[in-house]
Structure 1
Amino acid sequence: MDTTSTQIASGTILFLLLLFFPYLSIADVIYSPVEIFSINCGSNSSLSTRDGRNWTADIKFLSENKDSVAAPALTPSTLEGPYTDARFSHSQFTYSFSVSTGPKFLRLFFYSTSYQNFHRSKAYFSVKAGPYTLFQDFNASLNADADDDPGQTDILFREYCINLKDGDRLNITFIPSKTSQHQDSYAFINGIEIVSMPPFLYYTNPDDVDITGLPHLVGLNTNPFPIENNFTLETKYRLRVGGAEIPASQDTGMLRSWDVDNKYVTTQSVLSLATGIKLRFTKIPNYTAPDTVYRSVRNMGSNDSKCTISCHWN
């Protein structure tokens, strides 16, 4: 992940893994976010979707830019969501949000198709959120074509965790890549979502002296790695092991989607099981994940000599 802050390690990629702790809870407890912004970019009307989201028009969050335009997709998306319209510009444009102090989920939604006067192959741009560069010289059509999810053709989704300090506004800036090879490039966005989150859901509490639950860098036998809130995190995978998909509407209030793990498991003999275990949390908050995440597992079976599960991550 590239960033413009000198305090952040350039090129750092963090994978957020939900660890199964043996400290289990009473029932699903819903976290109530301080704020939720769901923005239907390029549209002058609101949109309500079956997952309970209310997408609002984007104009009041858009900083003055005479060059940005809105246009409908020439080919309608088959997915419900903010994919009917988009905001475009051949020059930089910015959305600005007044938000509370603390960490936020920032979600970006793209429908990589052709729009009137905007061919999909010309979408080539960078995105900044505050001082952080989330991605640079991003080619939307190449990324969409490389996505192997048949259920979301041409749909791109990116999710980040960003921490806001007292008095900060969250400015999200889209910057077309102007190089000798991309003189006519443009930037676009279909939907933006900002959801506040608990302060130490993923970030490390600096006052916590218990380091046993801290993450380690994958593949390295190193000391625990505290995740300080001056990092911006990108979600790569959020999987429910051994169970069905959990849509955003069934999350614990933070509108996270939990994908199935089937396409990542390469050991065919692994069994998925649902358990009726009574959950009781004592160390981690019970809104960390839906109860169903803890009630499904993969089991190698008592007669299997193997003791590991092989998962393939692309």
Structure 2
Amino acid sequence: MTTTVAGDSPYTYTPVEHILLNCGSSDNSTASEARIWIGDVNSNYLTHSQSQIQSSLTASAVKQALTVPRVPFTDARLSLARSPTHSPSLRAKNSNFNASLNADADSGPTISREYCVNIEEDQRLNITFTPSPNVSNSYAFINGIEVLSMPTNLYFTPVDDPGILSIGRQNLYRVVNSTSLEMVYRLNVGGRTISPANDTGMFREWQHDSSYLKEYGRMSFLPFNDTIKLKNTVIPPYTAPEDLFRTARTMGYNSTLNLSYNLTWQFPVDSGFDYLIRLYFCEFQPEIIQTSDRSRRILWSGGKGVPVYKDYAISMREGTEKKVNLYVAIGTEPRRWKTSYQDAILNGVEIFKISDFNGNLAVNPAPLPPDPPTIPPPGQSQNSKGNRTKIISVATDGVAGFIVLSC
């Protein structure tokens, strides 16, 4: 086991395994958040066969942009030739992964990909990077690898759990241990970006949501409560950082206006896959007291200041486009007598791509920068016969949340 954080841990979760590998480096380096990355040169993590046949080489950046962290992006390990894998392994499943195109598509100088896989006690975790066989003179490279164990069933469905609601399907959906997950979006709705160092111990980054908000969302309100004492009686405290539940985005208290639109976020995703969507809620506004004040959030959580989440599965397998838009929308309860406030609230969103029947997470060829086809976001009205956007309620009995599938 590698110790990467000095001193007493301030986090609510302490991973059993936490490995930070600075690929291409022979030294240990301390990152800006005080975590120690160990060099993979002559380490036990680079397989013996790789070291013997010298199928890879190391490289260091001559210069870096000031916005790029020195660790682990200064050094890299590059392949010399395409080599096969013989043992069971976790592959990034991006066989045609183009770092330059992905960096352009992500609008940033660095690329980070996060995957969740289940490893049994008698199994090894092998991570293999292979150059594309379809591109001449291609090579694989990697700057850093972080391996961190997470709590059991944090995202996977427990054995004794019947499953989660599957949008557009009658049967419940189970995210079983044999599948792999790729994190595609993780947002702190209504708040600032939460850095990995301020997560619960799993070093996840929660980005602010404004880039994904549709036009009507600009009219939303951003309440916050930095003094409320959160009560983790429904979900474990390590599930998400406390800061996520102290900020939110709401529609406000103009009932007439709120009934005319949905607060909507647009997420471009790869077609051909199922997705796990997790929505976080926590009532913290002083004026919201009774269960009837704003839909059923308090009833869900068991009380004010109690964080809760709801999971949904949705299929994006239809259509021929490589990229499609997934909409997440919240709206107010239309029956005025059901609630005191015609309002809705959301604290956070996580979206994961689920591996297909072949265990694959890749889209071939690699994703390109152009935006996906634009489809109008959903409004309150659902009566248009010519609109190919399907609006599906993701909860019942007055909970006005929508996950919208564009296909």
TM-score (norm 2): 0.56
8 Å Cα contact 1:92/1:173 also seen in 2: no
Which sections of structure 2, spanning at least 5 residues, go unmatched?
1-9, 269-407
8 Å Cα contact 1:35/1:196 also seen in 2: yes
Distance in structure 1 (CA, Å) of the matches to 2:91 and 2:192: 34
Distance in structure 1 (CA, Å) of the matches to 2:190 and 2:139: 41
Across the two proteins, how many residue pairs are aligned to each other? 244
Partner of residue 311, structure 1: 265
Amino acid at match of 2:56: S
Structure 1 residue 283, shift from structure 2 partner? 2.5
The structure richer in strand per residue is 1
Distance in structure 1 (CA, Å) of the matches to 2:164 and 2:210: 25
Distance in structure 2 (CA, Å) of the matches to 1:132 and 1:185: 18
Decide which of 60, 82, 101 is 1:72's aligned counterpart.
Answer: 60
Percent identity over the alignment is 39
Structure 1 residue 73, shift from structure 2 partner? 1.7
Q: Does 1:241 align with 2:189?
A: yes
Amino acid at match of 1:41: C
Amino acid at match of 2:200: T
> Counterpart of 2:94 in 1: which secondary structure?
strand
**Counterparts in 2 of 1:162 and 1:310: CA distance versus 1, 3 Å:** same
Partner of residue 115, structure 1: none
8 Å Cα contact 2:57/2:80 also seen in 1: no
Partner of residue 46, structure 2: 62
Which sections of structure 1, spanning at least 5 residues, go unmatched?
1-27, 96-127
Partner of residue 281, structure 1: 232
Q: Does 1:89 align with 2:79?
A: yes
Structure 1 residue 222, shift from structure 2 partner? 3.8
> Counterpart of 2:112 in 1: which secondary structure?
strand
> Counterpart of 1:163 in 2: which secondary structure?
coil
Structure 1 residue 129, shift from structure 2 partner? 7.9
Structure 1 residue 76, shift from structure 2 partner? 1.4
Structure 1 residue 199, shift from structure 2 partner? 0.7
Decide which of 22, 34, 53 is 1:40's aligned counterpart.
Answer: 22
8 Å Cα contact 1:251/1:257 also seen in 2: yes
Q: Does 1:53 align with 2:35?
A: yes
Structure 1 residue 75, shift from structure 2 partner? 3.4
8 Å Cα contact 2:91/2:127 also seen in 1: no
Amino acid at match of 1:262: S
**Counterparts in 2 of 1:54 and 1:136: CA distance versus 1, 3 Å:** same
8 Å Cα contact 2:95/2:131 also seen in 1: no
| More contact order relative to length (CA 8 Å, sep ≥ 6) | 1
Structure 1 residue 89, shift from structure 2 partner? 1.1
Amino acid at match of 1:225: Y
1:17-28 paired onto structure 2 within 5 Å? none
> Counterpart of 1:88 in 2: which secondary structure?
strand
1:177-256 paired onto structure 2 within 5 Å? 177-179=132-134, 182-208=135-161, 211=162, 214-217=163-166, 219-256=167-204
Structure 1 residue 141, shift from structure 2 partner? 1.0
After TM superposition, the runs of 4+ consecutive aligned structure 1 residues lying more than 3 A away are 92-95, 214-217
8 Å Cα contact 1:93/1:174 also seen in 2: no
Q: Does 1:270 align with 2:220?
A: yes
Distance in structure 2 (CA, Å) of the matches to 1:279 and 1:136: 44
**Counterparts in 2 of 1:133 and 1:37: CA distance versus 1, 3 Å:** closer
Partner of residue 319, structure 2: none
8 Å Cα contact 1:68/1:93 also seen in 2: no
Distance in structure 1 (CA, Å) of the matches to 2:11 and 2:61: 39
TM-score (norm 1): 0.72
Amino acid at match of 1:215: I
Distance in structure 1 (CA, Å) of the matches to 2:118 and 2:143: 23
Amino acid at match of 1:68: S
Distance in structure 1 (CA, Å) of the matches to 2:32 and 2:88: 29
Structure 1 residue 278, shift from structure 2 partner? 2.8
Structure 1 residue 254, shift from structure 2 partner? 0.7
Distance in structure 2 (CA, Å) of the matches to 1:67 and 1:232: 28
Amino acid at match of 2:31: T
Amino acid at match of 1:52: A
Q: Compare 293-302 and 71-80 and name the one that shifted more.
A: 71-80
Structure 1 residue 92, shift from structure 2 partner? 4.2
Structure 1 residue 69, shift from structure 2 partner? 0.4
Structure 1 residue 253, shift from structure 2 partner? 0.7
8 Å Cα contact 2:89/2:126 also seen in 1: yes
8 Å Cα contact 2:81/2:131 also seen in 1: yes
Distance in structure 1 (CA, Å) of the matches to 2:219 and 2:201: 35
Q: Compare 222-231 and 245-254 and name the one that shifted more.
A: 222-231
Structure 1 residue 35, shift from structure 2 partner? 1.1
Amino acid at match of 2:63: T
**Counterparts in 2 of 1:286 and 1:93: CA distance versus 1, 3 Å:** farther
Q: Does 1:134 align with 2:93?
A: yes
CA RMSD of aligned residues (A): 2.3
**Counterparts in 2 of 1:71 and 1:55: CA distance versus 1, 3 Å:** same
